[in-house]
Chain A
Amino acid sequence: MLSVEQFLTLAAILFSIGLYGALTKRNIIIVLVSIELMLNAVNINLLTFARYGLMPAISGQVFTLFAMTIAAAEVAVGLAILIALYRNRNTSDVRDQDLMKW
């Protein structure tokens, strides 16, 4: 039987990896993937508390399903934007996407 701490540690590790990737990777696709990783880490947290929390309830799992659905839609939109960006600027490097400044 796995304990709550182990689930939460796993989620924390996954979230940290995702955060690291989102902040450091140069390839825009990897950044997107890292963001998905962070989302899923959060999902694990939600499920953990839904099952082992102080007040276990089904709503945590429902939330997770919603989050996954939204994440899928988000990835679809995100990828579309990435393709558009690539077509326009001919690069997939995050550092080159710096038009939103003074």
Chain B
Amino acid sequence: MVEYAWLIPLFPLVAYLLLFVLGRRAQEGIVTAISVLASLASFAIALMILSDVNANGPQEPFAFHWLTIGGVTLSMGFEVTSLNAMMLAVVTFVATLVLLFSKGYMHGDKRYPVFYQYLNLFIFSMLGLVISPNLLQVYMFWELVGLCSFLLVGFWYYKPEAAAAAKKAFIVTRIGDVGLFIGIILLFVATGTFEYTGIFEAIQAKNFAIDWISPESLITLVAILIFIGAIGKSAQFPLHNWLPDAMEGPTPVSALIHAATMVAAGVYLVARAFPIFEASPDALMVVAVIGGITAIFAALIGLTQNDIKRVVAYSTVSQLGYMVMALGVSAYTAGVFHLMTHAFFKALLFLAAGSVIHAVHHNQDIRTMGGLWKKMPITGWTFLIGALALSGIPPFAGFWSKDEILLGAYASGNMTLFVLAVLAAFCTAFYIFRVFFMTFTGSFRGEKEVFDHAHENGSVMTIPLVLLAIMATVTGLLNSPLTNHAFEHFLNKAGEVGQIHTPEVWLMGLSTVVALLGIGLAYLMYKKGSIKPESVAGAVRPLYNLSLNKFYIDEIYHFVIVKPFVGIGHLLNFIDRWIVDGIVHLFGQGTFVGSLGLKYSQNGQVQTYGLITLLGTVILIGSAMLVIGGVR
């Protein structure tokens, strides 16, 4: 079965090409049918492969010769490991539901077929990335994923914010891509191969050197460079700021970007290249610290945001921070497990948020929502499940994976990281329930007319919600003591990666209590109203402003990076316009002005011309005579 894995990315690609041929006027129903069927077919194969890998274990990568440059042979191919078998299933599952959901959400959009083209291309790119057995191929798909996110974030390009967000997403992630690219090239120079297997073998055999750097520093450098790629793609601090802005795209895109494609790519890459990181404790430390900072940092920002999608976006950044931190403290299984559970409950939260936004006429400000529970019970219930999963309340999925990450952080002995992670868990529970209470309970604070029109969306939108809600509830059990840590055994089939810790009951209790405290505080502030949010904000006004303005990161970047670069741009523009172009224009203008004067020598008197010709001839012959020395 595994040898058919290449079909998985192929189906979305075929769907993309078909939609491309059908063009912009294709019927919405046909477009959706093609996309969903293709994605469903991929999902079916992914499931079969998953069960195959579960039964028989991972297999050798399949590769074919691509091209030879000098003495170097490059190959393309595909591989199936426990990790990417899991990813394939998750991506195709979420993608199918997002495609279905978009039918309701994007209904009536003028560029509906184009939207589906992009989505299919996006899914293809991500699946291709996941299935790649070598870093070169990964990089190609990596860039394709970046391109698709650019196209989709800027899908409503006529909105200036969307166009700016698309540019920002592209440029900020490119910064990371450069790091990744340098890392890949260094790896290639050091080992002579792009294949994961070859690179891991070389590292294990310490057959890994470039003359200008010691092997230990080299491996740390390479690991950090690859991690920089992941920082960009997975929106880790300090390159996190594109992700919340990417909320300008249509909500199904946000769900896809946040759950299955794009941001998962960074974490996936770190997980896939984990042996490189494992070989360098320093690099792991960097990964863990960046992850921890991101987790708490984004959670703090999330506390005060008023845009429903932005809160969920910051929660993504925060959760990605968790995953990265887990990988950094060698809790490999926990990180990957959280990647999976997060995909389900984050897709769920986004689609539920999309459902809300759709119902209230594309308004995203939670200050003008409220009391929507009665109007849209399915969305309410599913959002609640997603929120509980995100907060880490047992038995929902997020609880099990987050608990394992906390355990990993605790076991690593780095108490600062552990405390940060627990704090972030508290903030997470608080902000997501703040959104929940402000959106679904109380009374509607917007225009009455909008509220009267709000109603539950059709089944294309609710079915994905319900399916995702089920997944967000049960997938956590895959790696719980109840199932004897089945996921862990599955993931470590090909040999143990990272460290695995036995669960601690007190830690489970702690994380639950912390989450409940967060929910309780949100309840008191936004449902019961016994603590006034305004008075809390007033008491810590500077901190509140700091959080509301996202720690002024965008402003800092604007002044520290954007402005100087714009300055350099102006300078270069000046040089190009006035010095480089100036020289060229000087010649042109000089010739022109010279001709203006010289044209008066053309007086039309044929006898003058004749005389000058004669003089010229005499001078020519005279000088020739001088040179050859007279008549011979």
Q: Which residues of A contact B (CB under 8 A)?
A: 19, 22-24, 31, 94-95, 97-102
Q: Which residues of B contact A (CB under 8 A)?
A: 599-600, 602-607, 610-611, 614
CA distance A98 to B604 in the complex (A): 4
B300 CB to closest chain A CB (Å) equals: 77
Contact partners of B607 in chain A: CB under 8 A: 22-24, 31, 94-95
CA distance A95 to B605 in the complex (A): 6
- Which of B599, B600, B603, B610 contacts A23 (CB under 8 A)? B610
Do B610 and A22 touch across chains, with their CB atoms under 8 A apart? yes
Do A102 and B611 touch across chains, with their CB atoms under 8 A apart? no
Contact partners of A94 in chain B: CB under 8 A: 605-607
Contact partners of A95 in chain B: CB under 8 A: 605, 607
B153 CB to closest chain A CB (Å) equals: 60
A23-B605 CB under 8 A given contacts A102-B599, A102-B600 = no
Contact partners of B606 in chain A: CB under 8 A: 94, 97
Do A102 and B610 touch across chains, with their CB atoms under 8 A apart? no
Q: Is the interface of B mostly helix, strand, loop or mixed?
A: helix
Do A102 and B614 touch across chains, with their CB atoms under 8 A apart? no
Do A101 and B602 touch across chains, with their CB atoms under 8 A apart? yes
CA distance A98 to B607 in the complex (A): 10
11 contacts between A and B (CB under 8 A): A19-B614, A23-B614, A24-B607, A94-B605, A94-B606, A94-B607, A95-B607, A98-B603, A98-B604, A99-B604, A102-B602
Do A98 and B605 touch across chains, with their CB atoms under 8 A apart? yes
Do B604 and A100 touch across chains, with their CB atoms under 8 A apart? yes
Contact partners of A19 in chain B: CB under 8 A: 614
Contact partners of B610 in chain A: CB under 8 A: 22-23
CA distance A24 to B602 in the complex (A): 18
Do B603 and A101 touch across chains, with their CB atoms under 8 A apart? yes
Contact partners of A97 in chain B: CB under 8 A: 604, 606
- Which of A23, A99, A100, A101 contacts B611 (CB under 8 A)? A23
Contact partners of A100 in chain B: CB under 8 A: 604
CA distance A97 to B602 in the complex (A): 13
Contact partners of A98 in chain B: CB under 8 A: 603-605
For B600, give the chain A residue with the smallest CB separation: A102
B594 CB to closest chain A CB (Å) equals: 14
For A26, give the chain B residue with the smallest CB separation: B607
Contact partners of A102 in chain B: CB under 8 A: 599-600, 602
CA distance A19 to B614 in the complex (A): 9
CA distance A22 to B609 in the complex (A): 11
Contact partners of A101 in chain B: CB under 8 A: 602-604
**11 other A-B residue contacts (CB within 8 Å) besides A31-B607, A98-B603, A98-B605:** A22-B610, A23-B607, A23-B610, A23-B614, A24-B607, A94-B607, A95-B607, A100-B604, A101-B602, A101-B603, A102-B600
A92 CB to closest chain B CB (Å) equals: 14
CA distance A97 to B607 in the complex (A): 10
Of all A-B residue pairs in the complex, the 8 with the closest CB atoms, nearest first, are A98-B604, A101-B604, A102-B599, A101-B602, A100-B604, A23-B610, A23-B607, A23-B611
For A19, give the chain B residue with the smallest CB separation: B614
A76 CB to closest chain B CB (Å) equals: 20
For A98, give the chain B residue with the smallest CB separation: B604
Contact partners of A22 in chain B: CB under 8 A: 607, 610
A97 CB to closest chain B CB (Å) equals: 7
Contact partners of B604 in chain A: CB under 8 A: 97-101
For B596, give the chain A residue with the smallest CB separation: A102
Contact partners of B611 in chain A: CB under 8 A: 23
CA distance A94 to B610 in the complex (A): 13
B593 CB to closest chain A CB (Å) equals: 15
CA distance A23 to B607 in the complex (A): 5
CA distance A50 to B599 in the complex (A): 45
For B602, give the chain A residue with the smallest CB separation: A101
For B613, give the chain A residue with the smallest CB separation: A23
For B608, give the chain A residue with the smallest CB separation: A23
CA distance A24 to B607 in the complex (A): 7
A36 CB to closest chain B CB (Å) equals: 15
Which of B603, B604, B610 has the most C-beta atoms of chain A within 10 angstroms of its own C-beta?
B604
B90 CB to closest chain A CB (Å) equals: 79
B283 CB to closest chain A CB (Å) equals: 76
CA distance A28 to B606 in the complex (A): 11
Contact partners of A23 in chain B: CB under 8 A: 607, 610-611, 614
CA distance A46 to B600 in the complex (A): 40
B397 CB to closest chain A CB (Å) equals: 87
For B605, give the chain A residue with the smallest CB separation: A98
CA distance A58 to B604 in the complex (A): 42
Contact partners of A24 in chain B: CB under 8 A: 607
CA distance A23 to B618 in the complex (A): 15
A68 CB to closest chain B CB (Å) equals: 23
Contact partners of B605 in chain A: CB under 8 A: 94-95, 98
A102 CB to closest chain B CB (Å) equals: 5
For A101, give the chain B residue with the smallest CB separation: B604
For A24, give the chain B residue with the smallest CB separation: B607
CA distance A100 to B614 in the complex (A): 20
CA distance A98 to B611 in the complex (A): 16
A4 CB to closest chain B CB (Å) equals: 15
For A102, give the chain B residue with the smallest CB separation: B599
Which of A24, A95, A99 has the most C-beta atoms of chain B within 10 angstroms of its own C-beta?
A95
CA distance A37 to B605 in the complex (A): 21
CA distance A99 to B600 in the complex (A): 13
A9 CB to closest chain B CB (Å) equals: 15
A24 CB to closest chain B CB (Å) equals: 7
For A100, give the chain B residue with the smallest CB separation: B604
